[in-house]
Amino acid sequence: MRLELERLFELADEGVRARGEALFLRGAILEATRSRGRWQARVQGSAPFPYRVEINQSRGEWSCTCPYEWGPVCKHVVAVALAALEAPELFTQKRLGQPAGLRALRKLSDGELLELLWQLAEERPELMQEFAYNLLQRFE
Ligand SMILES: [Zn+2]
């Protein structure tokens, strides 16, 4: 069932809605992309690294990588839904299909992937820090 973005505001509690609106107004939405009813963005909140939000209207699903679990909708999802409604121009159109880089990654073995990650950790430690942080959030 198609998800109306307004529905997310109804599901969020009042405080969450206000904080989501504040995030949106503050310009916390980063790297926003869309493709056919799918909205993806990173939202910079108070945590050191931005969270990833995805809203899939055709599937009626949404997700965020933050640890919020006191209600069905967190402030980051509210912020992205608001941006999609009020400022869709923030979202760049994503071309369908996977980028060539991702296709190439899928062909690698686990060992080769690990090797690449180690290399990345040496060259771009800040990127690995963010990666590890997001991974930890997932298991908390
Ligand atoms: Zn969140």
Q: pLDDT for 3-51, tens place per residue?
A: 999 999 999 999 999 999 999 999 999 999 998 889 999 999 888 889 9
Q: How many angstroms does the Cα of residue 115 sit away from the middle of ligand 1?
A: 31
**Is residue 81 a contact partner of residue 12, using CB atoms and an 8 Å limit?**
no
Side-chain half-sphere CA neighbours of 110 within 13 A: 0
Number of domains in the chain: 2
Q: Of 4, 1, 5, whose CA–CA distance to 24 is shortest? A: 5
**Do 65 and 110 share a structural domain?**
no
Looking at the fold, whether 109 and 89 belong to one and the same domain comes out as no
Range of the domain at 66: 5-93
- Backbone φ and ψ for 40, nearest 5 degrees, come out as -130, 140
Q: How far is the CA of 33 from the centre of ligand 1 (A)?
A: 17
Q: Does position 96 have pLDDT exceeding 60, yes or no?
A: no
Query: How does pLDDT run across 98-128, given as a tens digit for each residue?
Result: 667 777 888 889 999 999 888 888 988 888 8
Residues 82 and 128 in one domain: no
The residue ranges of DSSP E strands in 12-87, in sequence order, are 29-35, 38-43, 51-56, 61-64
Mark whether 65 and 115 lie in a shared domain: no
Instruction: Compute the average pLDDT of residues 38-67.
Output: 93
**From ligand 1's centre to the CA of 77, what distance in Å?**
6
- Indicate if 66 and 106 belong to the same structural domain: no
* Predicted pLDDT of residue 54: 97
Task: Reply yes or no on whether the pLDDT at 94 is more than 80.
Answer: no
Q: Are residue 131 and residue 64 in the same domain, yes or no? A: no
pLDDT score, position 98: 63
What pLDDT does 66 receive? 93
pLDDT surpassing 90 at residue 76: yes
State both tokens at 21.
Answer: 């609106």
Domain boundary among 73, 93, 113: 93
CA of 51 to the centre of ligand 1 (A): 7
Residue 101 CA, chain-centre distance (Å), reads 20
Reading the block at residue 13, the tokens are: 């509690």
Q: What per-residue confidence (pLDDT) applies to 95?
A: 63
pLDDT tops 90 at residue 132: no
pLDDT attached to residue 14: 95
Eight-class DSSP state of 46? S
* Ligand 1 center to 111 CA (angstroms): 32
Q: How far is the CA of 123 from the centre of ligand 1 (A)?
A: 29
Q: Are residues 68 and 108 in the same domain?
A: no
Q: Please check whether residues 73 and 39 belong to one and the same domain.
A: yes
In the predicted structure, residue 136 carries a pLDDT above the cut 90? no
Q: Is the domain of 77 the same as that of 49?
A: yes
